[in-house]
Structure 1
């Protein structure tokens, strides 16, 4: 009696083999469908334009009056910008509507899409909690409300029907006062079950005049055993003094492009670059995707890990598998390099507690069945 690649003369043994195979198939279908890890995704920029448009319609928002129809809105929301500053202005649209009441609506749809359309097994959502609080409150009360925001994001991102391992990265912001940024670090320390790290965002061109302040905050986070990443070396910001405080580097593409002498120490610290290909076209940082070939080649040569990410999946009109496909079809990387980046994403994930990525577990199950 033949069954695939197996040959069995014992009917009882064949029956057990078939039952085992069917059980493994069920596990693969129900549990191990998701395969990828996303380390750099902003809560605000992840909202798909159609979902945002429907929310604005239902809530009768004044924002919708700026556009005559949905195609006009989608074009405005997803078209490339000339600079990073212009690109970041789009975040304010979503931040203004992602209130405590609205966050479950947006996060449910975000997690559903991430699981069904992107095969994500792991997702780190980053955002600035202060910018989701009630702007009519004074600063101290808004700081208090940040705890509620983080709790809502935590509850809303844990869905039985879309089983993604998820955690939050709280972003300090280059345009927020010191007191707010320090409170963001404190909040991360108070909620390790929901928050895995801190970040600094808001445009790396603005860090310089407050560098001592940001170094102090990263030192403070380290004293509390909080992991850290930072939007750094994305465009013009050249701040090597921040690098020693980071576990990962948000973007970091200007290191191999303009400051390759730094790659050796990045490799020694075992830091990973969070590279978001489509973003650099949307912000005018790069003119074509093939310019990233130098980034990948130099990092691989220097032993620096890269995790491929989407950054703002909604604003960029892209999903993680599309980023993979673009890099492959444009000959930026090959399949072996893609595999290395996918492995690196799980290896550097702040809240992934398993020794292997899901694809390795699936491979082990299949080998166990064959034996």
Structure 2
């Protein structure tokens, strides 16, 4: 059995449609009335959108449900599904903690409550019955004030037992007017010793080379090999990894055909740039990580050797994976040790 690492999964988009619909019917009368039958909700929730901005609006549907009280419900089901159905050994969960705080509080009170949110997600994701190594990536947000985003960076630095990195989310087309601000926030994060990733070069409108030097990984980044392949050498020299989420680009209208990703993989492999294959929003897509692998293989976008290279890259670039090797190597050493023990006992 192959064990996998997932580096790009949003907490808001991780809830599979059936679980979310059941939650509505148990706990939210207004949304239950809006979606009385499951098939209609699944079709609404998982259908492709016309743009990334329209797609991101779906996150607000879930964010309002994920509170201090309900987060254990959602996180438990995320971890259970990841372990049983996806064979995950490692999972980074990313989200904006401010958007899970009580909206009736003042801004300063909500900032203070973020630590409780992070601790709750951390405790809820560490389950003895589902032994997955987990960590959190806290997302700054392109539509939040600078003071809130800076507080998110500070919180990430203050809670290393739960948090492994910071991110910038909220739609990459929104960065332009505040680019200097986001550059300063990333520089500040790096000065605190934090690891970094960011939603960048996902769409043609989200291409900001000013941010690249501050990122250890790039969330999506597909427009670099597609439109700016001259940048690939710099990424390879910095050992930066792209977090490529195939189904997302069809759901957001960024790509019209999955086959367009062949150029992304070919140019990155040729340039020596690592790719980790991810799901992004497994619930919104109603897919799991092994499906993303299978889809790329069956469309002849990558071969099995390249798939294994991407799987290796995911563990190599994982921010909080505690071992020097991926699980397959660890299991091989364990089995070798057992074989040697049996051989010695037989002598």
Question: Which TM-score band (shorter chain)?
Answer: over 0.9
The alignment status of 1:225 with 2:225, answered yes or no, reads no
1:344 to 289, 292, 313: 313
Deviating 4+ runs (over 2 angstroms): 363-371
1:135 to 85, 98, 103: 103
The alignment status of 1:216 with 2:172, answered yes or no, reads no
1:73 to 20, 35, 41: 41
> Which aligned pairs between 1:1-371 and structure 2 lie closer than 5 A?
35-235=3-203, 236-369=205-338
TM-score normalised by structure 2 residue count? 0.96
Per the TM alignment, residue 250 of structure 1 is displaced from its structure 2 partner at its CA by 0.2
The secondary structure found in structure 2 opposite 1:153 is: helix
The secondary structure found in structure 1 opposite 2:319 is: coil
| C-alpha contact 2:25 2:31 (8 A) present in aligned 1 | no
Per the TM alignment, residue 369 of structure 1 is displaced from its structure 2 partner at its CA by 4.7
| C-alpha contact 1:34 1:121 (8 A) present in aligned 2 | no
TM-score normalised by structure 1 residue count? 0.90
| C-alpha contact 1:34 1:115 (8 A) present in aligned 2 | no
| C-alpha contact 2:232 2:271 (8 A) present in aligned 1 | yes
**Rounded Cα–Cα distance in structure 1 between residues aligned with 2:191 and 2:339:** 49
Aligned to 2:343: none
Per the TM alignment, residue 366 of structure 1 is displaced from its structure 2 partner at its CA by 3.5
Aligned to 2:344: none
Aligned to 1:15: none
Structure 2 portions without partners, runs of 5+:
341-347
The secondary structure found in structure 1 opposite 2:302 is: coil
**Rounded Cα–Cα distance in structure 1 between residues aligned with 2:132 and 2:189:** 27
**Rounded Cα–Cα distance in structure 2 between residues aligned with 1:52 and 1:288:** 28
Instruction: Give CA-to-partner distance per residue, 1:165-218, whole Å, 9 cap, x none.
Output: 000000000000000000000000100000000000001101010011001100
Per the TM alignment, residue 43 of structure 1 is displaced from its structure 2 partner at its CA by 0.2
RMSD of aligned Cα (Å): 1.0
Per the TM alignment, residue 60 of structure 1 is displaced from its structure 2 partner at its CA by 3.3
| C-alpha contact 2:10 2:281 (8 A) present in aligned 1 | yes
**Rounded Cα–Cα distance in structure 2 between residues aligned with 1:67 and 1:50:** 12
| C-alpha contact 1:129 1:149 (8 A) present in aligned 2 | yes
| C-alpha contact 2:91 2:133 (8 A) present in aligned 1 | yes
Per the TM alignment, residue 318 of structure 1 is displaced from its structure 2 partner at its CA by 0.6
User: How many pairs does the alignment contain?
Assistant: 339
**Rounded Cα–Cα distance in structure 1 between residues aligned with 2:151 and 2:334:** 45
